[in-house]
Amino acid sequence: MTTEQDLNKAGSKAVATVETPAAVETAAAPKSVAAAVSQAKEILEHSVTEHTHAELKKADATVSDSTIALIVEKAVSASMNSIVPVLERLVAPTPLEAEQMETLAKQRERFAREKKIMMQQEGENRKNLAAKQANCSHLDANSKEAIALSRNFPDRQARGICMRCNLTITPKEYRCPLPPVTMEQALKYIQHVERSEGIFGVTPYEDPKTCRIEDGKPVHGTGLVTHFLYPEHRLYHRVRELLSREQQALAS
Ligand SMILES: [Zn+2]
């Protein structure tokens, strides 16, 4: 900024200061504006000349690089020392922010607690349902079949659903893992199904296009498993029986 600009700024500042209501009330307001401007001009002129003298003195003296480095370092550390407390004050949360943070932390804790309880309940529900299905005869109070037929499936094969325990009796069917899994993951999954659901004979199918090619041929076991072939449910014969009964009823 040039000296002229500085002076104008100083002048306008002085005017701005004087224009406060308290100052306007006094009768000598215009006089003090002029006085303030001239004073500001004097101060600036004085500081500018001093500054110029200092510059000239510096230019005359030969200053080594290390001295400059030392001066810069000192200046930087001094300014940082004054800035750091201000920054700390700015970074420190206000009482409102602290309260909000506390509320958020409490909410997070509550969600975690509720999720844990929910997971426990879900696990218990699964166990209870499995026990109910295992002990269900799938017959109603009159010892008649409680299994209903459902045909609303894209493979056009009928499924049976027990009205008492919600067990789904599935035919031999394909089930697709999403996303496709490696053969290693597929074998682990089959073991899990055998242990937890008692279903044996699930066959994994891998996409030969995803297999590693050696000597122009895909290597079995290196590709991605895109679908499993599940055997039919051990009670599917009851679904078949229901289907034949239905056909007989239609024929007669
Ligand atoms: Zn049942």
Structural domain includes residue 186: no
- Rounded to the nearest angstrom, the distance between the alpha carbon of 118 and the centre of ligand 1 is 26
* pLDDT given at position 24: 42
* pLDDT given at position 35: 72
- Rounded to the nearest angstrom, the distance between the alpha carbon of 252 and the centre of ligand 1 is 30
* pLDDT given at position 1: 46
| pLDDT per position as a tens digit, 46-55 | 765 666 666 6
Q: Is the pTM of this model over 0.95?
A: no
Question: In this model, does residue 202 exceed pLDDT 60?
Answer: yes
Question: In this model, does residue 39 exceed pLDDT 80?
Answer: no
* pLDDT given at position 252: 84
- Rounded to the nearest angstrom, the distance between the alpha carbon of 136 and the centre of ligand 1 is 5
Mean pLDDT for the chain?
83
pLDDT tier for residue 117 given thresholds of 50, 70 and 90: very high
* pLDDT given at position 199: 87
Structural domain includes residue 167: no
- Rounded to the nearest angstrom, the distance between the alpha carbon of 90 and the centre of ligand 1 is 66
Question: In this model, does residue 62 exceed pLDDT 80?
Answer: no
- Rounded to the nearest angstrom, the distance between the alpha carbon of 199 and the centre of ligand 1 is 18
pLDDT tier for residue 27 given thresholds of 50, 70 and 90: very low
- Rounded to the nearest angstrom, the distance between the alpha carbon of 243 and the centre of ligand 1 is 18
Q: What residues does 175 pair with on adjacent strands? A: 228
Structural domain includes residue 41: yes
- Rounded to the nearest angstrom, the distance between the alpha carbon of 148 and the centre of ligand 1 is 10
Sign of CA dihedral 153, 159, 163, 164: negative
Specify whether the CB–CB gap between 242 and 162 falls below 8 A.
no
Identify which has the larger pLDDT, 185 or 53: 185
- Rounded to the nearest angstrom, the distance between the alpha carbon of 123 and the centre of ligand 1 is 20
Counted domains in the chain: 1
- Rounded to the nearest angstrom, the distance between the alpha carbon of 197 and the centre of ligand 1 is 16
Structural domain includes residue 104: no
Structural domain includes residue 82: no
Question: In this model, does residue 160 exceed pLDDT 60?
Answer: yes
Instruction: Please give the backbone phi and psi of residue 114, each rounded to the nearest 5 degrees, phi first.
Output: -65, -40
Residue range(s) defining the domain that contains residue 40: 1-55
Specify whether the CB–CB gap between 195 and 250 falls below 8 A.
no
- Rounded to the nearest angstrom, the distance between the alpha carbon of 201 and the centre of ligand 1 is 23
| C-alpha–C-alpha distance, residues 222 and 212, integer Å | 6
Structural domain includes residue 147: no
- Rounded to the nearest angstrom, the distance between the alpha carbon of 22 and the centre of ligand 1 is 91
Mean pLDDT confidence for 209-233: 91
- Rounded to the nearest angstrom, the distance between the alpha carbon of 168 and the centre of ligand 1 is 9
Structural domain includes residue 49: yes
Q: What is the DSSP string of the chain?
A: --HHHHHHHHHHHHHHHHTSHHHHHSTTHHHHHHHHHHHHHHHHHHHHHHHHHHHHHHHHS---HHHHHHHHHHHHHHHHHHHHHHHHHHHSPPHHHHHHHHHHHHHHHHHHHHHHHHHHHHHHHHHHHHHHHHH--SB-TTS-B-EEEE--STT---EEEETTT--EE--SEEE--SS-EEHHHHHHHHHHHHHHH-----EEEE-GGGSPEETTEEPTTSSEEEEEEEPPPTTHHHHHHHHHHHHHHHH-
The fraction of the chain above a pLDDT of 70, given in percent, is 77
pLDDT tier for residue 61 given thresholds of 50, 70 and 90: low
- Rounded to the nearest angstrom, the distance between the alpha carbon of 150 and the centre of ligand 1 is 15
Structural domain includes residue 27: yes
Length of the chain: 252
Identify which has the larger pLDDT, 123 or 25: 123
Question: In this model, does residue 189 exceed pLDDT 90?
Answer: yes
- Rounded to the nearest angstrom, the distance between the alpha carbon of 139 and the centre of ligand 1 is 7
* pLDDT given at position 84: 86
